[in-house]
Amino acid sequence: MNWDETFWQKPNSFYARQPGERARDNREMRAIIDGYANSPGWVMLNAWSGVTPLGEAVLRTGQLERTAHIGMIGIGVRQSHWSRGLGRSLMGALEDHAEAFSLERLEFTVLAQNRRARDFYKRLGYVEEGRKRRSVRFGLDPVEGKVRFADEILMAKWIGPRNCIDTE
């Protein structure tokens, strides 16, 4: 099976990563899987229907002592399976994994124009914490003749103890 051909076949305005920036074959995918398997607290979850991938969710922990309590997450679901509960299930599994590894905060970015995803994450208790202006470059728009950029929205959810001290 060729991973790239079966999953993200063409550029999508909802994802920062393009198809060519994903694993191009089984060997590259194996290297990515091994990287997650050999990193404490990291997890990669995939949902399949037979040989067809339907969704993916990943969690990577902070690498520094002061950020080790943070899980950076990412999720993608094939459009044909939106609104079927798969995204909610993948996010729930990531949160369960984060709690099992005593993580206290989950965070990610979502493209600003992806209002559907932003609303979905808000329903799960995530809050918008900031905006990264023009952080994703889509390239030259063939109609307008100008370079097209998108903003990313930083979203996060605190899953740690409520009795903690915030410094300002």
Number of domains in the chain: 1
Does residue 141 lie within any of the structural domains? Answer: yes
Domain that holds residue 81: 3-158
Question: What's the pLDDT score for residue 145?
Answer: 92
Q: Which residue has the higher pLDDT, 21 or 2?
A: 21
Both tokens of 161, joined, read: 């103890």
Query: For residue range 97-141, what is the model confidence (pLDDT) as tens digits?
Result: 999 999 999 999 999 999 999 999 999 999 999 999 999 998 888
Mean model confidence pLDDT for the chain: 87
Using the predicted structure, report yes or no on whether residue 24 has a pLDDT greater than 90.
no
- Assess contact for 124 and 90: CB atoms under 8 A: no
pLDDT over 50 at 55, yes or no? yes
The CATH number covering residue 20 comes to 3.40.630.30
Q: What is the pLDDT of residue 99?
A: 96
Q: Is residue 105 part of a domain?
A: yes
166 falls within a domain = no
